Amino acid sequence: MSPTNEMVVLVDQNDREIGLMEKLEAHQKGLLHRAFSVLIFNEKGEMLIQKRAQSKYHSGGLWSNACCSHPRPEESLETAAFRRLQEEINLSASCSPIFSFVYKVELDNQLIEHELDHVLIGYSESAGSINPEEVEDLKFVSVEYLRMDMILHPNNYTEWFKIILLKHFYQLKEHLDAQQHLVHESR
């Protein structure tokens, strides 16, 4: 199945399923659907980011989080995240959901991203490897650098990634601080 004829799960504002639709059609019509964004961190607290392949049907050539996609019908967020990490960057990491948000933005190619985006977090010391159909580049960077660069060069980043790091940063930071506290207690 090609990426543009995959089905997405249409949802209401409370993430209740209301139907299925072909992915490209959902983006053309701007209908709310379930999505996820995976954030991967290493022991230094650096975040793994990817530069999307130019050939992607939207947001090609922009920097984004480690991976993002849509769960298939009947697929859990954790399973979908694990699957897409392997497909996009050949990385195996378990991820856990930490928060979600709804957003709607107009993208290139006359598409509308209207998603209930579940943010998941995982940990890995490996950056994986590039699947050139999905990704042009991968690197770990500090969150502080990333946030500053997003403010200075917003057109270099995907819309959902900017929302996660600039509008929902305190939810993310709260989770990372709690995780760091657990690591220090276990030592």
Active-site residue set: 68, 115
Query: Closest Cα to residue 150, out of 92, 76, 71, 65?
Result: 65
Distance CA 156, CA 162 (A): 10
Which pair of structure tokens corresponds to residue 119?
């943010």
Give the side-chain half-sphere CA count within 13 A for 123.
9
Distance CA 50, CA 45 (A): 16
CA distances from 79 to 42, 93, 121, 143 (A): 21, 11, 13, 26
CA distances from 20 to 3, 7, 14 (A): 15, 6, 16
Per the document, the length of the chain is 187
